[in-house]
Amino acid sequence: MANLVAPHGGKGLTCCLLEGAELEAEKKKAEGLKKITISPREEGDLIMMGIGGFSPLTSFMTKADWKSVCDDFLISDGTFWPIPVTLSADKADADAINNGDEVALVTGAGEVMATMKVTEKYEVSEADKKYECEKVYMGEGTPTPKEFWEIAQDDHPGVQMVMGQKDVNLAGPVKVLSEGEYPEKYPGIYVSPAESRKMFEDRGWSEVAALQLRNPMHRSHEYLCKIAVEVCDGVYIHSLVGNLKPGDIPAEVRVKCIDALVKNYFVEANVLQGGYPLDMRYAGPREGLLHATFRQNYGCSKMIIGRDHAGVGDFYGMFEAQTIFDKIPTPSDPGKALLCTPLKIDWTFYCHKCDGMASLRTCPHAKEDRVMLSGTMLRKGLSEGTEIPDHFGREEVLAILREYYGSLTEKVEIKTHAAATGG
């Protein structure tokens, strides 16, 4: 019998998604509640609380939680958590709400996603937003606030997201009424933590490694998965199906690429594919920790962390998302600690002299012998119509991507990390 890692927080999977008669009654009640419009990021966070992906969270964070997460990687009850999960509202809407009131949370298109009992509301000033950005989004690539702010507001999508939040945060428990478009749009790919755990158990897996994916799968991703397959029972290729930044590859295209790779280059019994509904925050090291935290809920005990995980531009050091795991607090209660550990893998590439995939730990040759692999570089080459170097990607995958890029009427400038072509 499989013995999977326990869900994060020591409370099992905490799912806020209503079903059956309870769901219908809450939907009816929501019709008469004050409506608060939520952002796409907040929608994804809601769905994750609904399906247990953010266990043990069942509420948007209080000010004490927000501050403790920014400063200490802990929510106020001492449970590890790396990134604030907050909901913002216009001051006029917040002024019309009293603590104890219930509100309906709706998307920009008007779909009622959840109800929420407001237990606290707190102003978020410009200084507060900057504080969150410096604590959560500032990395080794911009080591001082001055360097960070010189470029962050123009070039960091996560920072732009935080600075664009409304003026008041609302905290309180939620009842989730919908999973949005995901079940219908990504059938068989979008699955809940309970469903992925059952799939792992049905296969007899205990030690499962997760691969985070937001770029199309190239040879380096393939190699990372195969390393993990050698040391774990299986690999969960877990692709983001929420919103990305301009120039990123849509989820449905990435899913086709993964299908082609798994069918042609893996033992299918050792690999599963899934999708989750969050937006990227591009928080680099902190997001690497978030990825490990919710992958624990999905049943994964290992998180593959390679080069520049969840990074953007030059904001983070190449392996900062690995070293941060060595610096986080370990709560005395094991249930409150992060149990999904990093599978740290060095920079990987194809080496002509090695005649195969290798890493900086295994290959003694010079950088001119290596084909440096990067999802961002792959997107840039395909977008600009330049020739893709040999051994960069599998031909089955490149054919899918060329078809996608050939269908675009507008091109988006793709920026690469300064070290992306280094050796």
Residues tagged active-site: 214-215
Distances (CA, A) of 173 to 49, 50, 358: 10, 11, 48
How would you list the strands of the sheet with 341-344, edge to edge? 271-276, 234-240, 208-213, 302-305, 341-344
Element (H, E) at 149: helix 145-155
d(CA 305, CA 340): 12
Q: Copy the structure tokens of residue 216.
A: 């199309």
Contacts of 368 (CB under 8 A, 6+ apart): 423
Contacts of 218 (CB under 8 A, 6+ apart): 373, 374, 375, 378, 392, 393, 397
β-bridge partners, 348: 359
Closest CA to 50 of 26, 82, 72, 78: 26
DSSP string for 292-341: HHHHHHHT-SEEEE-TTTT--TTSS-TTHHHHGGGTS---SSGGGS---E
β-bridge partners, 103: 34, 116
β-bridge partners, 371: 350
* C-alpha Rg value of the chain to the nearest Å: 21
d(CA 344, CA 350): 18
Element (H, E) at 256: helix 251-265
3-state secondary structure 167-207: CEEEEEEEEECCCCCHHHHCCCCECCHHHHHHHHHHCCCCC
d(CA 158, CA 204): 38
Contacts of 197 (CB under 8 A, 6+ apart): 4, 298, 299
* Residue type at position 227: I
User: How is residue 90 annotated by DSSP?
Assistant: -
Distances (CA, A) of 141 to 49, 263, 318, 404: 32, 38, 9, 33
